[in-house]
Amino acid sequence: MSGLPLSYAVRNVRARLRRTALTIGVIALAVIATSVFLALITSLKRTLVASGSPDNLIVLRKGSDNDGSSMLSYEAYQVLRYLDGIAAQPDGTPLVSAEKVMQPFARTRAGGRENILLRGVDPIALAVHDEVHIVEGRMFRPSAGEIVVGRGVAGRYADADVGADMFIGKRTWHVVGIFESGGTSFESEIWGDLRDIARDANTFPYSGVRMKLAPGTDRQALIDRIDRDPRYALQATPEVDYYAEQAKSAGTLYILLVILAIPVGVAAGFGAANTMFAAVQSRTVEIGTLRALGFSRGTILRSFVLESLVIALVGFAAGAIGTLFVAFLLRLALGGIAFGAQTFTINVVTLRVSPRDLLAALGFATAIGLVGGLLPAWRAAHLRPVEALRKA
Amino acid sequence: MRFLPLILRNLGRNKLRTGLTGAAIGLAVLLVCFFLTMPAGIDVFLSQIASNVRISVHHKGGLVYQMPFAYVNKIRAVPGVVAADGVVWFGGAYEEAGHVTFPSFAVEPEHVGAVWPDYHIDPAALERFRRFRDGAIVGRQTMEKYGWKIGQEVSLHSTIWPVTLTFRIVGEIPNARSPLFWFQREYLAQAIHEHGWVLSIVGIVWVRIADPALVDGVMNRLDAMFRNSPAETAAETEKSFFASYFGSLQGFVAIILVVTGLVALCVLCIAANTASMAVRERAREIAVLRAIGFGRRLIFGTLVAESMVLATVAGGTGALLTYAFTAAVKLAAGGWSTQLGPLSGFLVSPAIVGQGLLLAVVVGLVSGLAPAYGAAHRPVASVLREVF
């Protein structure tokens, strides 16, 4: 006897609309729950781990664990600028960016108050931090009271819109642009003119210095040279290591999320598989009938698994759309998910659902379809047809 | 109650299915209870730590801006103020940890007792704190985290000031949720004086007010006093100070609650599915029961009771397991965290367990209602005809 026609599986779906809809709904819910969680985890990881450029060094006062608490003098900056092994622009300007970091209050769109990271830089900073790009408006002009805000800041804080006046700390700044850095922690920052911000802080001129190494420079030798300079108590760290260290302190949050993601996935997956299992198990008689009619086990299994997979895929598609919608709503409602950074400022995680998160959810849905469909169909197909028929 | 054995027997018919459904409900209730401990942690923290007669005075523009130290005495002179203590952030990192793992402040030792009487610090410890220049008073959470004892010496290197200081612990704040580390302002002043600096600033002034009714008046008066000065102030209650500090965690809590809601919905579907399957399988038997004279209400009642018994037992187990699960997570995550703050307290209260149980009962009821109603109201004759 030949195989079961595809239309058999399709008609089955139509014949049991309510049950099929329930199964699809549960799978969609499971997909939403897991992929929202996965997206949160990957967005958090992107913020924490991917920050920093591999050929950059960060120079801070010895003993400081972040640039928010560091202080550096004008003389130290001048010495650092002319060290050997630093990359330069075509006109010879060394790629060294002196920066002043402040953590004043800013108002969130929801009406709350948070410490925000305000970074004073010179225009050279865009060349040193080459992952940062202005995506809306333009770069600020020096000494004009202008600022550019990160993507995360733009979503979360009041008046952080191009063309608006934003009150931060002690004064009002004019927002002229929005920048992105591929989801890294720079997007939780506001950048303004170095002198404007140093004047506002009224302490040491700089917090720290970032520098880009020329290709072929012995990084460790340069680090040692800066660390050993007896005139200024400084320490140099590769920028990537610096952010990895910052990320370590957020490890608790990360571990917690991963710990929670596992039971969430198990509970949701379990539920969906169970529903599917039940749907197929209730058709034991039908499988017995098919066997009695002479269809082989393989044919029947193939048809049932195909049907389950199609249902799982439809559930996944519904869930994926649901996930994007939920993520959109969450972004709209929360203006980014915030957590405290080591600098006592707020890191804004913009919840982005990446293709990889959805791919993982697809695998998840397929597994649910396979397990939930194959197991009961296998059991029914291996009963003697007479017994299966008696199960009525 | 006469029908309880019947209900239990019915549950025992398909042990695998009952077990799986029960496990799913239990796991979901466990998760929901666990997630609920996080926002509840903020409330518990605020009610434990914050006093309604204590306010903070800090720079209007942010905690990063400092105020002149002279403000503290001006604040003390305002009527209604019982005591005030100016504190300076030290950002101390314990050698073994390498970075800041608990909040450390330079404080004025002679005012600690009057500003924080609700901390119940031993008066003898306060006396030692005043007397010894290098004395420190440490919250019990930090004491326990590092296994410190009173009398022990510890060194902290500051991430703000260019100094490393060695302290002698002279007392503790007897609260297992307090991570604070306090030491004498004078000790810091002397240490940075060697670098040619003068400690003339203060970060936050904590003020104790005589009567809750005076709080608003004093706050307005203080802010008015420093208006148009180089360092304008913002006074706020201790509760609002911490609430806004932790307010940023709301988004995180919200997303967790959304996921929790989704999981709960999934479980509702599972339970409903199980109930409807149980009823379908038993269609003939139910029709026979009806035919020999058992009433609709009874049939309906036993079926709903069946799904409720399952959900309540499973959910109750899950809710109780929350205690064990939170203990395990606490062990894995460990201690004070800048990121989670009071969210990481994971305190399971009876109220949370109660909410978990309520969820289980609702799941049992809702999932049982529709199939049970259907079973009780199907015409007996047609069911019997269909099956035989």
The per-residue pLDDT for range B174-225, each reduced to its tens digit, is: 987 788 999 999 999 999 998 888 999 999 999 999 999 999 999 999 999 9
Calculate how close chain B gets to A8, using CA atoms only, in Å.
23
Q: Residue B100: what pLDDT?
A: 79
Residue in A334, A342, A370 with CA at minimum distance from that of residue A110: A334
Residue in A51, A52, A56 with CA at minimum distance from that of residue A212: A56
CB A128 within 8 A of CB A194: no
Q: Is residue A244 part of a domain?
A: no
For every residue of A61-102, DSSP letters joined together read ETT-SSTTS--B-HHHHHHHHT-TTB-B-TTS-B-EEEEEEE
Q: Which chain B residue is nearest to residue A33, measuring alpha carbons?
A: B259
Residue B318 main-chain phi, psi, to 5 deg: -60, -45
Calculate how close chain A gets to B378, using CA atoms only, in Å.
18
Q: Is residue A222 part of a domain?
A: no
Name the domain count of chain B: 2
Q: Is A101 within 8 Å of chain B by CB?
A: no
Q: Is B93 within 8 Å of chain A by CB?
A: yes
Q: Is residue A202 part of a domain?
A: yes
Residues A61-101: pLDDT tens digits? 887 878 877 888 888 898 898 888 889 988 989 999 999 99
- pLDDT tens string for chain A (392 positions)? 456 777 787 777 777 787 788 888 888 988 988 888 888 888 887 777 677 888 899 999 887 878 877 888 888 898 898 888 889 988 989 999 999 998 899 988 878 888 899 999 998 999 999 889 999 999 999 989 999 999 989 988 999 999 999 999 888 999 999 999 888 888 989 999 998 888 887 777 889 999 999 988 888 999 998 988 888 888 899 998 888 777 766 666 777 777 777 877 877 777 777 777 777 777 888 888 888 888 888 888 888 888 888 889 999 999 999 999 988 888 877 777 776 666 667 777 778 888 988 999 999 899 888 888 888 888 878 878 887 777 65
In chain A, what residues touch B60 (CB-CB under 8 Å)? 105, 170
Residues A364 and A335 in one domain: yes
Distance CA B21, CA B40 (A): 29
Domain end residue (candidates: B231, B258, B275) = B231
Residue B81: CA atoms inside 13 Å, Cβ hemisphere, count? 24
Residues A83 and A145 in one domain: yes
Residues A110 and A155 in one domain: yes
Residues B76 and B29 in one domain: no
Residues B27 and B113 in one domain: no
Residue B147 main-chain phi, psi, to 5 deg: 65, 35
Portion 237-296 of A in contact with B at CB < 8 A: 245, 249-250, 252-253, 255-256, 259-260, 263-264, 266-268, 270-272, 274-275, 278, 281-282
Distance CA A228, CA A236 (A): 10
Q: Is residue B33 part of a domain?
A: yes
For every residue of B191-259, DSSP letters joined together read HHHTTT----EESEEEEEES-GGGHHHHHHHHHHHTTTSSS-EEEEEHHHHHHHHHGGGHHHHHHHHHH
Number of H helices, E strands in chain A: 13, 14
Tokens 């998910």 locate to A337
* Integer CA distances (angstroms), B59 to B116, B182, B239, in order: 21, 21, 17
Residues of chain B below pLDDT 70? 1, 96-98, 247-248, 332-345, 386-388
Residues B201 and B225 in one domain: yes
Q: Residue A96: what pLDDT?
A: 92
A311 token code pair: 């249902």
User: Angle at Cα B109 formed by Cα B103 and Cα B112, nearest 5°?
Assistant: 75
Distance CA A302, CA A306 (A): 6
Q: Is residue A189 part of a domain?
A: yes
Residues B277 and B203 in one domain: no
Residues B201 and B267 in one domain: no
Q: Which chain A residue is nearest to residue B281, measuring alpha carbons?
A: A392
- The residues pairing with A121 across neighbouring beta strands, listed in sequence order, are A193
Q: Is B3 within 8 Å of chain A by CB?
A: no
Residue in A31, A94, A56, A92 with CA at minimum distance from that of residue A364: A31
Q: Residue B71: what pLDDT?
A: 95
Alpha carbon of residue B56 to chain centroid:
22
Of the candidates B21, B27, B61, the beta carbon closest to that of A263 is on: B27
CB A342 within 8 A of CB A242: no
Residues A279 and A348 in one domain: yes
Domain end residue (candidates: A152, A186, A214) = A214
For every residue of A297-365, DSSP letters joined together read HHHHHHHHHHHHHHHHHHHHHHHHHHHHHHHHHHHHHHSSEEEE-TTSSEEEEP----HHHHHHHHHHH
Portion 169-208 of B in contact with A at CB < 8 A: none
Residues A10 and A72 in one domain: no
Instruction: Return the amino acid letter for A80.
Output: L
Helix, strand, coil tally for chain B in percent (to 5): 60, 15, 25
Q: Is residue B126 part of a domain?
A: yes
Q: Is residue B239 part of a domain?
A: no
> Collapsing DSSP states into helix, strand and coil, what is residue B156?
strand
Q: Residue B109: what pLDDT?
A: 95
Q: Residue A269: what pLDDT?
A: 79
Portion 354-373 of B in contact with A at CB < 8 A: none
The H or E element containing residue B87 is strand B81-89
Structural domain for A276, as ranges: 6-49+250-390
Q: Is residue A134 part of a domain?
A: yes
Q: Is residue B241 part of a domain?
A: no
Of the candidates A33, A40, A337, the beta carbon closest to that of B263 is on: A33
Residues B218 and B182 in one domain: yes
> Collapsing DSSP states into helix, strand and coil, what is residue A121?
strand
Chain-chain contact of A263 with B31 (C-beta, under 8 angstroms): yes
For every residue of A140-177, DSSP letters joined together read PPTTTTEEEEEHHHHHHBTT-STT-EEEETTEEEEEEE
Alpha carbon of residue B69 to chain centroid:
34
Calculate how close chain B gets to A208, using CA atoms only, in Å.
13
Residues B78 and B167 in one domain: yes
Q: Is residue A228 part of a domain?
A: no
Alpha carbon of residue B355 to chain centroid:
16
Residues B172 and B261 in one domain: no
Chain-chain contact of B24 with A271 (C-beta, under 8 angstroms): yes
Q: Is residue B242 part of a domain?
A: no
Q: Residue A1: what pLDDT?
A: 44
Residues A285 and A312 in one domain: yes
Q: Is residue A219 part of a domain?
A: no
Q: Is residue B53 part of a domain?
A: no
Portion 151-170 of B in contact with A at CB < 8 A: 157-160, 162, 164
CB B164 within 8 A of CB B156: yes
| ipTM for the assembly | 0.72
Residues A206 and A274 in one domain: no
Structural domain for B218, as ranges: 62-231
B139 secondary structure, DSSP code: E
Q: Is A366 within 8 Å of chain B by CB?
A: no
> b vs e for A218-233, b when ≥16 Cβ sit within 10 Å of the residue's Cβ?
eeeebbeebeeeeebe
Residues A60 and A209 in one domain: yes
Residues A148 and A36 in one domain: no
Q: Is residue B24 part of a domain?
A: yes
Residues B129 and B265 in one domain: no
Q: Is residue B166 part of a domain?
A: yes
Residues B118 and B216 in one domain: yes
Residues A337 and A370 in one domain: yes
Domain end residue (candidates: B168, B203, B231) = B231
B320 token code pair: 């109780």
Residues A205 and A332 in one domain: no
Helix A297-334, helix A17-49: angle, nearest 10: 50
Q: Is residue A107 part of a domain?
A: yes
Residues A198 and A145 in one domain: yes
Residues B375 and B286 in one domain: yes
Of the candidates A36, A270, A274, the beta carbon closest to that of B259 is on: A36
* Integer CA distances (angstroms), B351 to B27, B131, B327, B354, in order: 18, 45, 18, 5
Q: Residue B220: what pLDDT?
A: 94
Residues B164 and B104 in one domain: yes
Name the domain count of chain A: 2
The H or E element containing residue B346 is none
Q: pTM of the full predicted structure?
A: 0.76
